[in-house]
A = this chain, B = another copy of it.
Amino acid sequence: MHISQNALAVKLNFFSTLTNEEQSYLAMVQSEPVTVKAGKELLHERQYSHKVFIVLAGWSNSYKDLPDGSRQIINFPVPGDCVGLRTLLMHTSDHGYSALTDLKFTTIDAPRLMQMFDDFPRIRACFLWSGARDEAMALDHLVGLGRRSAIERTAHFFLELSERLQLVGLATETQYRCPLNQYVLADALGLTSIHINRVLRELRERSLLSVRSGMVMIQDPHELRKLANYQSVTHQRTRAEANAN
């Protein structure tokens, strides 16, 4: 098992403890790690795809482009996240997926994934659980876009990101690296980069959160959570008992 493949195992273990056999199978079924350059598009909308991506390191985003040239970013998969499960079921992708920084990942081909799901129902359960969590996050995102103001949405976003990164050891309670620029943030939060800038300034001036040279610092977690009406995505939920299915 590659050390670098641990993020996935860490995340799945959060849902349910995997045996050594399951863990080593999980490591074995993955391709060798691949590294691509920032900007590389790994999946474009409507592309036929027969594999999933497991992020090991780096930043990427899944998104949808609109005919008027704007784009909506759906998600920023972090290390340990799996991209393309739904696409596998659909056969063709309903979103694009590209690297924002140099990106290291492995892949699993559909047949091997399906075989694994047949042979290791507990692993299948973990993947389903993980997919369900991703879906829950997408719904939070949806609610934010529909009903939260720009500043609430932004605060909420950085809090959620923090929690996801903590899960794989890439953030502390108060800070984490985050190379997302204001154009990218704008596309994720349904705003313009100009307005994101104003919002970040306000958060900074209110001493709640600051973003400087790729580093997010949460200065006042309590007040920030209050502003965002933030509820933890993961911690509020009972840990899964991964029975078959």
Contact = CB atoms under 8 A, between A and B. Distances in A.
Interface of A: 46, 64, 66-68, 70-72, 74, 86, 89-92, 94-95, 114, 117-118, 124, 128-129, 132-133, 135-136, 138-139, 141-143, 145-148, 189-190, 229, 236-238, 240, 243-245
A164 to B, nearest CB: 16
A163 to B, nearest CB: 15
B243 A139 contact: no
Contact of A190 (B72, B129, B132, B146): B146
A190 to B, nearest CB: 3
A128 B90 contact: no
B136 A190 contact: no
The 5 closest A-B pairs by CB, nearest first: A146-B190, A145-B145, A89-B132, A72-B143, A72-B146
B136 A90 contact: yes
9 contacts: A66-B143, A70-B147, A86-B136, A89-B132, A90-B129, A91-B237, A92-B238, A114-B245, A145-B145
Contacts of A237: 90-92
Contacts of A132: 86, 89-90
Nearest to A189: B146
Given A64-B143, A139-B74, A190-B145, A244 B89 contact: no
